[in-house]
Structure 1
């Protein structure tokens, strides 16, 4: 939908609003604790999405994570504007909960499940290599030694496995 919004597709924008506005309103309301202000910020969030949809691909985050970040940041900006001095970072830090909210946790779990499912599609030794290199921080050299393959073969395994994961995640 965001790709279509970049092209100024109003139907895609309406679909995105219908699919996400409730969750984003919850983010705004949780931070601002004022329904009227949360509604105003939500309106501003969708204006920003309409005007800045082309910046989404640059961030590399999932669409919902990007939208939640926009809503959260705009809500915090509104909090700062409430105070005559613009709000201090210490006060804002105490007022806002920096821990991920229920919606962010649910999104993270969903993304983790997708990644795990895609890893399951790889051959077991290649999935183990990907986990070792990108989740456990193992070097290519140590992985090559563990799997008893040449270093360049390990590099090829990892490169091809990442391409397969990318294909799987875009389905």
Structure 2
């Protein structure tokens, strides 16, 4: 365990016993990280500040629920903050009445955009068909399915640098094919 992990665990144990000095120290150590989590999720500084207060109230009331055998104290604190911010986001979304649905724009593409997308998809399929079959499959697996170079080199039984060359050359070929 690192020094900070040990300190957080000790502080949480003391907070569970209602030690105000430990709570104050826990706040000074953990609040920057927890505030960052709230701010990242809520995207509003004032709401993140309010959420941080609520998070520390939850920590004060539930510190006895932290179990060191299950996870690190930082992970527990981060989870409390993250879950609270997500709860606030859900509450924010449910506060919108059904009347607001009438004024919301339809997020789906219009007929023209859908036709353009289909046309571009056909162009990409045609350009992929111009590649060697194993190269086209490698491109699909890398850039659509997210497989790593290492996974692809194992799958196609080629050295890692060969796979990188395949993908680079295939992307150049696709760019040339798609450029009007």
TM-score normalised according to structure 1 size: 0.48
Name the TM-score, length of structure 2 as normaliser. Answer: 0.46
